[in-house]
Homo-oligomer: A and B are copies of this chain.
Amino acid sequence: MRYYISDLGQYVGQKIELKGWVYRTRSSGKVKFLELRDGTGVVSCVFFRGDCTDDVFTRFDELTQECSLKLTGTVRKHPKHEKVYEIGVTDFELIGTSKDYPISPKDHGTDFLMDNRHLWIRSKRQHAILKIRHEIIMSVRDFFDGRGFTLTDAPIFTPAACEGTTNLFETKFFDEKMYLSQSGQLYAEATSKAFGKVYCFGPTFRAEKSKTRRHLIEFWMVEPEVAFNDMYENMELAEQFMEYIVQRCLKNRPDEFKTLERDISKLAPVVAPFPRLHYREAVDLILKENPAFIVGDDFGAPDETIISSKFDKPVFVHHFPQAIKAFYMKEDPSDRGYAMGSDLLAPEGYGEIIGGGQREESVERLLLKIAEHKLNEKDFQWYLDLRRYGSTPSSGFGLGIERAVAWICGLAHVRETIPFPRLYGRSYP
């Protein structure tokens, strides 16, 4: 029988054994305190001379930050706080020592903390972020699994470069040249014709040689795809999805938001429907504050902030110019020159978190696009087959998990959103 701190409420009055690590110690004469953490929570353990032997009371002084131990004691309700418990210690056994633990409560530089990421994750703040990350991932899966989507994961080794090779990691697959996937979308389109509603969810890679607060080299992306959906149904799916994720985190992770000092009043309004702006409407807003913006261009981070600052929930921008969008995106036949896609911009300056839209379903038009984008037609034979055999309207989107975590947690940098980040210039530990 293993006892965990998260379950202490079930054992009030009982003598139990806990295993964990020392988070902090303090002592004041005849009472000594130790905060024990075991990954499920932190509990105050009280050493009171008389409850424990003199030997145990003395050995307390051997306990250092992050040493591991087995501890025996009685579970008690906290004298003042509801649903808080403490342990009246009777004995303990040191399991693993910890001499000069490198991370102390004092401030450390970012490089030092990143070098010690394997230890840094033990701290309360990092712990809270990664718990919210897990909640977000569970929400993603439950949302799709509960709505009849089939998970069909895409391969990482991909022969074709669907958005140009600039930011692709080229690698060798035995004697062949291949790339590490930057999106599972094309594969999800194939499986959506078999399963109707699908999603893929795995790591994706972009070889961007830039250090920004929003880019990871290796990041997780979830990409649903629905056969027969048009771009408007796609936006409805995306807004229901984001509402579900945010509201579930608010419900299930209040303690973690508190640890992060996140202003959750900023998340409460994230309820569908979200506002929608045509690219032209968005440009009008941008030009008022950034007159240098060139109409027809994609938005920069400051432009996205101009738009999102006008709303208290995420906002869609749809119908971007066809010229700046990927080859597979469908041009709107009733709005020439504009693509049937949309980006979703998160509030508070977090920028684009979702990109998606409706795919070109005609094999002839797709062939023209492949030529225009100077892509190799041979690489896309199987993708063209999806239009040759029972083509349908089809729409989907991609959500970058780490950007969602950064926004929901209110973080300044995406590097804290994943257990072991890979950034330009950072591949350790």
Q: Could you tell me which A residues sit within 8 Å of B by CB distance?
A: 2, 4, 6, 19-22, 38-40, 66-68, 95-99, 101-102, 116-119, 121-122, 126-127, 130-131, 133-134, 137-138, 141, 145, 148, 150-157, 159, 169-174, 176, 178, 180, 187, 190-198, 202-203, 205, 207, 209, 217-218, 220, 227-228, 361, 382-383, 385-393, 418-422, 424-425, 427-429
CA A20 to CA B192, docked complex, whole Å: 11
CA A141 to CA B98, docked complex, whole Å: 33
CA A126 to CA B152, docked complex, whole Å: 12
Contact present for A195 and B39 (CB under 8 Å): yes
Closest to A138 in B: B145
Further 18 A-B residue pairs, CB within 8 A, beyond A173-B427, A382-B429: A19-B228, A19-B392, A39-B192, A40-B148, A66-B389, A95-B391, A96-B387, A98-B388, A98-B390, A99-B388, A118-B190, A121-B191, A121-B194, A127-B195, A134-B152, A153-B419, A156-B205, A187-B420
Chain B neighbourhood of A101, CB < 8 A: 389
25 contacts between A and B (CB under 8 A): A19-B392, A21-B390, A39-B196, A40-B148, A66-B389, A67-B389, A68-B390, A96-B361, A96-B392, A116-B382, A117-B382, A118-B382, A121-B191, A122-B193, A138-B141, A153-B419, A154-B420, A155-B218, A155-B419, A155-B421, A157-B218, A157-B422, A169-B172, A171-B180, A174-B424
Contact present for B68 and A391 (CB under 8 Å): yes
Chain B neighbourhood of A203, CB < 8 A: 153, 156, 202-203
Closest to A126 in B: B194
Chain B neighbourhood of A127, CB < 8 A: 194-195
Contact present for A98 and B40 (CB under 8 Å): no
Contact present for B385 and A118 (CB under 8 Å): yes
CA A134 to CA B220, docked complex, whole Å: 19
Q: How near does chain B come to A112, taking the closest CB pair, in angstroms?
A: 13
CA A192 to CA B130, docked complex, whole Å: 12
Contact present for A119 and B422 (CB under 8 Å): no
List the number of copies, as a whole number: 2
Contact present for A39 and B419 (CB under 8 Å): no
Say yes or no: A418-B98 contact (C-beta < 8 A), given A118-B382, A118-B386.
no
CA A152 to CA B385, docked complex, whole Å: 38
Q: How near does chain B come to A26, taking the closest CB pair, in angstroms?
A: 19
CA A99 to CA B390, docked complex, whole Å: 9
Chain B neighbourhood of A151, CB < 8 A: 133-134, 137-138
Say yes or no: A190-B121 contact (C-beta < 8 A), given A148-B4, A196-B4.
yes
| Of the residues B20, B153, B228, contact of A418 by C-beta under 8 Å | B153
Chain B neighbourhood of A425, CB < 8 A: 174
Contact present for B217 and A157 (CB under 8 Å): yes
Contact present for A150 and B176 (CB under 8 Å): no
Chain B neighbourhood of A131, CB < 8 A: 150
| Of the residues B40, B67, B150, B159, contact of A427 by C-beta under 8 Å | B159
Closest to A424 in B: B174
Chain B neighbourhood of A156, CB < 8 A: 156, 180, 203, 205, 218
Closest to A20 in B: B196
CA A169 to CA B157, docked complex, whole Å: 11
| Of the residues B174, B176, B383, B420, contact of A209 by C-beta under 8 Å | B174
